Amino acid sequence: MPSKKRRRAAVENLAARSGYRLLRLETGTEQPEAVGLYRSAGWQQIPCYGYFKDDPTTSCFEKALTAATA
């Protein structure tokens, strides 16, 4: 099974090749490993949105994709 870092990178690469330029995600504040993984990969923490907007147990992130990502 691929590592979490390889899976995350594969998703980012697929999205970039498919024409996406921005990815957003939500993770729980009780998942420090996930938060660390996203931050170490260049994801920026953003204000939460939609369903998660007022949930204090949620952290939201986004990452701009470039041609180099693909």
Mean pLDDT by 10 residues, the chain (70 residues): 81 94 95 92 95 95 83
> For residue 66, what pLDDT is reported?
85
d(CA 68, CA 70): 5
> For residue 44, what pLDDT is reported?
97
> For residue 1, what pLDDT is reported?
46
> For residue 4, what pLDDT is reported?
79
> For residue 48, what pLDDT is reported?
96
* Virtual torsion, Cα 61, 44, 62, 28, nearest 10 deg: -10
